[in-house]
Amino acid sequence: MCKTKTRTDATEPPPSISNRSTRRTRPSSTSTATISSGATDSARVNSSATTSTSASSHSSLASLRSSLPENPHIYSFSEISSATNNFLSKPISSSTWRCTLRSKPSVVVKRRLRRPLDSAQLNHLLSSISRTHHTSIIKLLGASISGNSIYLVYDFASGATLSAALRNPQNPSFTLLPSWLSRMQIATDLAQGLEYIHHFSGENIIHNHIKSSAIIVSDPSLNARICHFGASLLVGEIPDPSSSSTLQKSNSRVSRVEGTRGYMSPEFITAGIVSQKSDVFAFGVVILEIFSGEERLKYRFDEGRSEYERISLIETVKDALERAEDGMLRRWMDPRMKDSFPGEVAEKMMRIALDCVHVEADKRPDMSQVAGKVSKLYLESRVWAEQMKSPTGISVSLAPR
The pLDDT value recorded for residue 7 is 40
Low-confidence ranges of the chain (pLDDT < 50): 1-40, 42-45, 49, 61, 64-68, 244-256, 392-401
The pLDDT value recorded for residue 202 is 65
Domains recognised in the chain with CATH numbers: 69-156 (3.30.200.20), 158-389 (1.10.510.10)
pTM, two decimal places: 0.77
Cα atoms in the Cβ-side hemisphere of radius 13 Å centred on 165: 28
The pLDDT value recorded for residue 359 is 96
**Per-residue pLDDT tens for 260-297?**
889 999 999 999 899 999 999 999 999 999 999 999 98
